[in-house]
Each structure stands twice: as C-alpha cells, then as structure tokens.
Chain A
Amino acid sequence: MTQIGLNHFLFVSTVLFCLGIFGIITRKNAVMVLMGIELILNSANINFIAFAKYGNFGYQGQIMALFVIILAAAEAAIALAIVLNIYKTFSTVNVDEIDTMKD
C-alpha cells in the first residue's frame, strides 16, 4: 500500500461516477434516476477538490465545488417539479413507460 495520493481519490470518484451512470440507466423510477445524477455530481466534486489540493490551482477547485453544490440544489428542485408534472400527466414516474418522444 502506497501513501494515499491523488490517484486514490480519483479512483473513488471514478467508481462513484460509474455507479451513478449505472443507476441512471437501470432504475425505472425517475426519482432514482435523480439519485444517480446526484452521485455523478458528487464524484465530479471529489475530483475538483482533489485537484485543488494536489494541483497548483489554489482555491479555485473548492469554489467550483461550492458552485456545483448550489447548482445541484437548484437542479434537484426543478427536476422534482418536472417529475411531479410527469406524474400528473402520465400517472407514473417510470421513465421506461414514458416514450411519447418516439412518436
């Protein structure tokens, strides 16, 4: 075991990212898809902060991570409003049943 370095953190974020994508693809429920998106955002944030520490960027990475969190909050609110609307229109939130885009 080497000393904990940049690679370790990047590895965690990679795993998180892939799990997020896996969740987005496989879950039927729209809320679950949102959870997958949150995982992806978190993995991006880990990257930002890890590079902020190990790269020569000062605080920019942390600031950026902060912005991502703010945007995630806004995104979650909007996305849930959309999910509610979908539920009202289709009376389901299972994304695989919503395929009117095909027509």
Chain B
Amino acid sequence: MTIYDLIFYLFAAITVISAFFVVTTRNIVYSAYYLLFTFFGVAGIYVLLGADFIAVVQLVVYVGGILILLLFGVMLTNRITNVQIKTGTIKIAPAAIGVALFAGILGAALLKTNWKTINSEIPISTTHTLGLLLIQQYAVVFELLGILLLIALIGAASMARK
C-alpha cells in the first residue's frame, strides 16, 4: 500500500460516496453541495492520472461555473419559502434493477477484458504540451468550440429572455 494507492482510495471514496448522496438526498441544495465534492474527487483522480491541467480546468469550470449555474437553476425554478427545497423521487425499483444489471454487465466487461496497458510517462506539467496541441494540431476544433460557446451563450440568453 503506497501513498499513491492511499490517495487514490481516498479520492475514489469521496467521489463515489458523494455521488451516491447527490442522487439520493431529497434536498436539492444539499445535492448540489455533494456534487461539489464529487467534482473535487474527480479532479483529484485526474491529478493522480497525471492530468494536472485538466484537473484545474475541472475545478474552475465545473465548480466555479456549472455548479453555480445549477444552483441558479434551482433558485429560479422554485418558489423559495424556506431552505428546504425538496425533490420527489420516482421509479426507484425499476431504476435500481436496471442500473444494477447495467453495472453488472459493465463490471463484468471491465474485469473480463484483457487490457493491454503501458504505463506511459506523463511529465510533471502537461499544460505546455496541451497548449501547443490546441493551437497546432487541434486549432480548427479549438476555434470551432469557441464559436460553439458563443452560440450557446447567445442561444441561452435569447431562450431564457423570451
């Protein structure tokens, strides 16, 4: 049990447990906060996988952006009288069975498959390399994504305004 393993189990536990609470807590605001921990745990896993830049982006975009957006969504679509914003749950039984079966199949596939892995050396900092890739090999996609974001911005604004 190295320190690396310990950290992995720590983050995996954070991710999985808080994700579990995200989908089971009845209070939406609590769910949103559990989601924060999930994102954080996932970011930790990214770091363990050597993707430091992605991890930072994950924190900035998900925690700083998407989560806030979701909270706004909650606020704007509920008549807030107290902090208790509840959500009901439906179809627990079929969902549980379906998801369990699905997880079983995925898990079986995961264990039975003979993955050919190599442990590639990922340098300490990936930011420089990723930056170069984005403006060279993936420049067109990168620009297109910029346009896409702009379109999403305008589209969301115009849709929400109506």
Do A and B touch directly, given a CB cutoff of 8 Å in the complex? yes
Q: Which residue of B22, B32, B117 is within 8 Å of A54 (Cβ)?
A: B117
Asked if B140 is at the interface (CB within 8 A of a chain A CB), the reply is no
Whole-angstrom CA separation of A77 from B160 in the bound complex: 10
> What class of interface size applies to chain A in its complex with B?
35 or more
- Residue of A whose beta carbon sits closest to that of B79: A91
- B39-82 residues at the A interface, CB under 8 angstroms: 39, 42, 45-46, 49-51, 53-54, 57-58, 61-62, 65-66, 69-70, 72-74, 76-78
With the chains together, A49 CA to B43 CA distance in Å?
11
When the two chains form their complex, are residues A4 and B5 in contact, meaning their CB atoms are under 8 A apart? Answer: yes
* Tally of contact residues, B, Cβ under 8 A: 82
Q: A59-B133, A63-B134 are in contact. Are A14 and B77 (CB under 8 A)?
A: no
- Minimum CB–CB distance for B141 against chain A, Å: 7
How many whole Å from A101's CB to the nearest CB in chain B? 16
Q: A27-B23, A67-B145, A87-B77 are contacts. A76–B66 as well, Cβ < 8 Å?
A: yes
Kindly list the 6 A-B residue pairs having the minimum CB-CB distance in the complex, ordered from nearest: A23-B23, A74-B152, A29-B87, A25-B95, A81-B159, A54-B117
Q: Which residues of A contact B (CB under 8 A)?
A: 1, 3-12, 14-23, 25-32, 34-36, 38-39, 42, 45-46, 49-50, 52-56, 58-59, 62-63, 65-67, 69-78, 80-85, 87, 93-94, 96
| 16 A/B residue pairs, CB under 8 Å, sorted by A | A10-B110, A16-B15, A19-B23, A25-B95, A26-B89, A31-B70, A39-B23, A42-B38, A49-B49, A53-B120, A67-B141, A70-B61, A73-B65, A77-B69, A78-B152, A78-B156
